[in-house]
Amino acid sequence: MQPATIEHAKSLVTIAGWIGSLVFFFIAVSTYLRGEKWKRAEFLANEMKGFFAAPRVQRTLFLIDWGSRELQLMEDRTGDESRVVVTRQLQTMALRPHILIEGSGSDSEVFSVDPSGSDTGFSQPEAAIRDCYDAFLDGLERFANYIKTGLTDVPSLRPYIGYWIDDISSPTDNTDDAAWCAALLTYVSFYRFDGVLRLFDAFGKDIRPSSVTYTSFLKLMKNQTLASQLAATVNCPYPSVKP
Q: What is the pLDDT of residues 141-196, one digit of tens each?
A: 999 999 999 889 999 999 999 999 999 999 999 999 999 999 999 999 999 999 99
What's the confidence (pLDDT) of residue 29?
45
Where helices occur in the chain by DSSP H, the ranges are 3-53, 55-65, 88-94, 124-149, 154-169, 175-190, 194-202, 212-220, 224-233
Q: Taking Cα atoms as reference points, which of 52, 59, 123 lies closest to residue 92?
A: 123
- ∠ CA 137-159-204, rounded to 5°: 65
Residue 135 exposure: Cα atoms within 13 Å on the Cβ side: 18
What's the confidence (pLDDT) of residue 7?
59
What's the confidence (pLDDT) of residue 232?
96
What's the confidence (pLDDT) of residue 22?
54
Distance CA 205, CA 44 (A): 22
What's the confidence (pLDDT) of residue 54?
96
Q: List the chain residues with pLDDT less than 70.
A: 1-38, 102-120, 241-243
Backbone angles phi, psi at 100, to 5 degrees: -90, -5
What's the confidence (pLDDT) of residue 74?
86
DSSP element (H, E) containing 70? strand 68-72
With a CB cutoff of 8 Å and minimum separation 6, the contacts of 233 are 97, 99, 100, 186, 190
Distance CA 143, CA 44 (A): 9
Q: What is this structure's pTM? A: 0.80
